[in-house]
Amino acid sequence: MTATTTTTTADATTSAAPEAVPVKRSAAMIASIADPGVPTTSAPFGHALAALGERDQRVVGLTADLSKYTDMHVFAAAHPERYFEMGMAEQLMVGAAAGMAAVGLVPFATTYSVFATRRAYDFLCLDAAEPRLNVNIVAALPGLTTGYGPSHQATEDVAILRGMPDLTIFDPADALDVEAIVPAAAALEGPTYTRLLRGQVPRILDRYDYTFEVGKAKVVRPGDDAVIVSSGLMTMRALLAADTLSADHSVELSVVHCATLKPFDEATVVAQLDTDRTAFTAENHTVVGGLFETVAGALVRRGIAKQVNPIGLPDEFLDAGALPTLHDKYGLSTQSVVDRVLGALR
Amino acid sequence: MTTVEEHRTTVERERHARVADAAYEIRMGVLEQGEAQGEGYVGQALGIADVLAAVYCDKLKYRADDPEWEGRDRFLLSIGHYALASYAALAAAGVIPREELQTYAADGSRLPMSGMKTYTPGMEISGGSLGHGLGQAVGMALGLRVQGRDDQLVYNLLSDGELNEGSTWEAAMSASHWQLGNLIALVDLNGLQADGRTDDVLRLEPQEERWASFGWDVQRVDGNDLEAVLAALDHVTETAAAQGVPKVILCDTRLANGVPVLEAKDKLHFLRVAAEEWPIAKEQLTAGHREAQS
């Protein structure tokens, strides 16, 4: 099922109804994040996990009543004997995943980011992270990737988790990152948290000379005028913005992608920022406690005074609505990034 | 010449004596640790000593010289503050040296006040945040089964206070859903939690009905009656994996059991004991054990 955003006309069926106006409607909880013209891959996580399960019998999948919405259903169909529907019980799911890891399995457990972080934090922390178990939490709807409002918008998931010792945090940019992260997470001994992009996931990093490496930030695109340090889907937006800036405005924007938010590749990022280029961070997350503050901390620790313009979500509960509208409103859309860069260069 | 029946009785008597000795040893180990710190969750640890003795010294499959042996049964202590009871049991089982109990809760010790997997050989989880053990036990039991190893049993000792936590009931529901016959919950019902009596804090009864309604095989025993505890454990181990039903033994225990000078105290959740009382406590424990043996 592909969730799409459509424009339609509301039915004016009663006299009390407002005058019919075109409304943007989000057809499903999970709206597409693909920009026009960007190819997509279907359920990259589910297929990557199913493939890993072929090679490694220790791999098991768990979900908390969200298999279809986290692409876990692909693994479930391929390996039903190693798939566990745990019900709408996130604390149990994370604890049970830790128990499975403790007896030699390699669990991947899925739910939405809000539930993995807000609801199951204590279980991830003490059952999985403190004993350094190979528990892999794969969480859909990170940041602002649904129009359902604050109950489902995990705008602060990274802020919640960054302080957890021994947890590796991944923020993939596209389908290729997602596919690379799955075996990498399994190979790591300790726990991981991945901000999952699911459904029809854009594929963009194959246009560049890029390979995913755990713990490494990569300069995906060079550029002399400005530099943007980004993670997650905002790397995709930054790359698309860079194309527009180059073509239409003769501005060359460098994009530094941080697929691993923790441990953070400070050396690479600081080296890229310690230049005279205008600098930005871009994250699908509140500007509190995420990539921007990680970068700021890295700069301050080294005594580098450098202005960095944060592109990210405001420190507030966000609106419900259609996702494209919300990405425009809160500055995550490609055009918003273009405008921010041009505004700062002006 | 002895009859089969007489032989069986002798074996049972020896078994009982062996476990009673272990319970005594565990209680003494608890008192030694309590004395080293002058205070602690001594009441709970004395109360659960008989259950731990029966599990560690009669039931649990493990290798004392190889605590990480893959084929072992798992004993999960989710009540982290009962750690001193577990340490005494691990000493009685030969997993850690008995002398090490003197380091309980000291700087640099492998025996922290709240039990953690990363510190102590034989500790299977990092407990302490209550309501975590049973969920992990579900994962272990399920994980062992998927690997064809469900002859290995998973025990989780939890407290009545932990029954306040919703996560415990998520796990209880899941255990019966997955038909985890290799999972055994031991619930210490001592009736006291941090803020007072469990009946006053958050009513837990009727316990048998609640667990039964969640699909568990339920037994309720006097947790300080060694014969009753052993019989209940015999039932669960004999019917373990094949039956496909998780088992719970609800153990009514008495705080500070076996040590009258401590039983008489009123603040039993966290005991503070004067230095001169510890020798009295040990003497009472030894006297009581001798009397029971005779």
| Segment B183-229, tens digit of pLDDT | 999 999 999 999 999 999 999 999 999 999 999 999 999 999 999 99
The DSSP output letter for A116 is I
Contact B143 A105 (CB under 8 A): yes
**Chain B residues closer than 8 Å to A82 by CB:** 146
**Chain B residues closer than 8 Å to A191 by CB:** none
Give the count of beta carbons closer than 10 Å to the beta carbon of residue A20: 11
**What pLDDT score does A16 carry?**
56
Select the residue of A89, A104, A123 nearest B174 (Cβ to Cβ).
A89
At residue B34, what is the residue type?
A: G
Buried b (16+ CB within 10 A) or exposed e, B97-109: ebeebebbbeeeb
∠ Cα B123 A98 A181 (to 5°): 135
Q: Which residue of B has its CA nearest to A82?
A: B146
Q: Between 2.40.110.20, 2.60.40.420, 3.40.50.970, 1.10.10.10, what CATH number should domain B4-293 receive?
A: 3.40.50.970
Give the pLDDT confidence of B141-154 residue by residue, as tens digits: 999 999 999 999 99
Residue A202: closest CA among A156, A169, A240: A240
Residue B187: closest CA among B229, B144, B126: B229
**Chain B residues closer than 8 Å to A133 by CB:** none
**What pLDDT score does A177 carry?**
98
Query: Which chain B residues have any C-beta within 8 angstroms of a chain A C-beta?
Result: 70, 74, 116-118, 124-126, 128-129, 131-132, 134-144, 146-147, 149, 166-167, 170-171, 173-174, 177-178
Select the residue of A81, A91, A105 nearest B167 (Cβ to Cβ).
A91
Q: Which domains does chain A have, with CATH numbers?
A: 40-202 (3.40.50.970), 211-345 (3.40.50.920)
**What pLDDT score does B1 carry?**
63
State the pLDDT confidence band at B179, using cuts at 50, 70 and 90.
very high
Give the start-to-end residue ranges of the domains of chain B.
4-293
At residue A323, what is the residue type?
A: L
Crossing angle (nearest 10°) for helices B4-37 and B277-293: 180
Give the pLDDT confidence of B14-34 residue by residue, as tens digits: 999 999 999 999 999 999 999
Which single residue is written with the structure tokens 């957890």? A164
Beta bridge mates, A228: A255, A280
Contact B126 A100 (CB under 8 A): no
Contact A273, A295 (CB under 8 A): yes
| Distance of alpha carbon B17 from alpha carbon B27, whole angstroms | 15
Residue stretches of chain A with pLDDT short of 70: 1-30
| Mean pLDDT, residues B150-170 | 96
| Distance of alpha carbon B189 from alpha carbon B198, whole angstroms | 9
State the pLDDT confidence band at B232, using cuts at 50, 70 and 90.
very high
**Which residues of A carry out catalysis?**
90
Contact B142 A122 (CB under 8 A): no
Select the residue of A91, A104, A122 nearest B170 (Cβ to Cβ).
A91
**What pLDDT score does B266 carry?**
84
Give the lowest-confidence range in A28-32, A332-336, B99-103, B175-179.
A28-32
For residue B160, give how far its alpha carbon lies from the nearest alpha carbon of chain A (Å).
Answer: 19
| Distance of alpha carbon A180 from alpha carbon A164, whole angstroms | 23
**Chain A residues closer than 8 Å to B137 by CB:** 99
Beta bridge mates, A219: A256
Decide if pLDDT at B136 tops 80: yes
